[in-house]
Amino acid sequence: MGRFASTVEFYARYREPYPPEFFKQCAQQIALRGNETLLDVGCGPGLLAIGFAPFVGRCTGLDPEADMIAAAKAAAAETGVELSLIHGRIEEFPTVQTHDVVTLGRALHLIERTAALSVLERIVPDSGRILICGASTAETAEAGWVKSYKKVCRAWTSRPDERRGSDGTEWFADSCFRGLGKTSVTVWHQVTIADLVGRALSKSSTSSQILAKGQARFEAEIAAALEPFMQDGVLQEQIVARASIFGRR
C-alpha cells in the first residue's frame, strides 16, 4: 500500500482549497495563451490539474498512487474537464515530449531530487515554466483555533516536518532553473470540526492507516481543541494559495 493510499477519500474534499482566483492570477503572471501543454506532477485527485486546465490547451496529471489517478479521473469527469492521466513517478517519466508548464503541489518533498531534475531538464523547454504551488491556513487573530489544531496534529504525527524549502528555492539551487517570481491569493471561508478532522486524515502522517486504533481518540482530541473557538457551528479560516515560479537560467 502506497503512502497516500488511505488518504484518497479525504484528500480532494478536505485539503486546503485553491480558490479560482489563484489559477487566474497564475495564468496572467506567466502569460498563458491557452494553447500550452501542462504536466501536473504528483497530481493526487487533480486539484491543480483541474484548476489550470481551462487556461491551457492540454493538461496531463502524473501520480504514483493508482487510487489517486482514479480519483482525479472521477473529479475531472464530474467537473467536465478533459485530463490525460498517467500512473507513475516523475523520476521515471520516459517521455521526451516537452511541456510548457510543469506544476507541483504538495509533493516536492516526496520527490527524489537528482532523478527528477534530470527529467525536468529534458521536458521543460527554454520558455517553459515550473510552478511550485501550495495552499495553507494562516494563523491570524481571527482564526485563533489554528494553533491548537496544529498542536494536536503534531503530537500525533508519525513523521517530522519534511517541508523545509517547500517553495522550491532550495530544491532548485545549483540547477539550470532559477526563481522568476511569486504570486499568492488570500481568501476567507468557513470550516467545521468534521472538515478539519477530514483534513488531518488526508495527510500521510496522520492517515487512518497510521492512526489505526488510535483514530477515535485522535478525532476526539481535535474536537476538544476546536470546540472553544466555534461560532454558530463553524470556524473562520484564511487560506493563502501560493505559487513560486521557476524557469531556465
| Residue ranges of domains in the chain | 5-137+161-187+239-248
d(CA 101, CA 131): 7
The mean pLDDT of the chain is 93
- pLDDT (tens digit per residue) in 109-135: 889 999 999 999 999 999 999 999 999
- What is the C-alpha to C-alpha distance for residues 239 and 146, in angstroms, rounded to an integer? 11
CA atoms of 65 and 11, how far apart (whole Å): 13
pLDDT at residue 96, as a whole number: 79
For residue range 195-207, list pLDDT tens digits in order. 999 999 998 889 9
Using a CB cutoff of 8 Å and minimum separation of 24, what contacts does 194-200 make?
195/14, 196/14, 196/149, 196/222, 196/226, 196/235, 197/222, 197/223, 198/10, 198/13, 198/14, 199/10, 199/14, 199/15, 199/16, 200/153
Tell me: pLDDT of 167 over 90: no
Q: pLDDT at residue 162 above 60? A: no
Quote the pLDDT of residue 9. 86
State pLDDT tens for residues 89-99: 999 998 779 99
Q: Is the pLDDT of residue 165 over 90?
A: no
Cβ(92)–Cβ(41) below 8 Å:
no
Pairing assessment for the beta strands 235-248 and 177-191 based on DSSP bridges: antiparallel
> Rg of the chain over CA atoms, in angstroms?
18
Model pLDDT for residues 100-112, shown as the tens digit of each residue: 999 999 888 889 9
Q: Measured between alpha carbons, how far apart are the two ends of the chain, in Å?
A: 39
Average pLDDT over residues 171-189: 96
* pLDDT over 90, % of the chain: 85
- Cα-based distances in Å from 245 to 14, 101, 178: 26, 10, 8
pLDDT value, residue 166: 67
H/E run at residue 221: helix 215-226
CA distances (Å), origin 111, targets 63, 86, 115, 145, 210 = 11, 16, 9, 32, 21
Q: What pLDDT band is residue 6 in, cutting at 50, 70 and 90?
A: confident
pLDDT surpassing 50 at residue 1: no
The pLDDT assigned to 38 comes to 98
CA–CA–CA angle 12, 240, 225 (5° rounding)? 75
| pLDDT average, residue stretch 33-57 | 97
Question: Which has the higher per-residue pLDDT, 19 or 167?
Answer: 19
pTM for this entry: 0.92
Among 76-80, 162-166, 237-241, which stretch is predicted with the lowest mean pLDDT?
162-166
Assess contact for 131 and 244: CB atoms under 8 A: yes
Architecture of the CATH domain 5-137+161-187+239-248: 3-Layer(aba) Sandwich (3.40)
pLDDT band at residue 164 under the 50/70/90 scheme: very low
| pLDDT value at 65 more than 60 | yes
Relative orientation angle of helices 145-156 and 215-226, to the nearest 10 degrees: 160
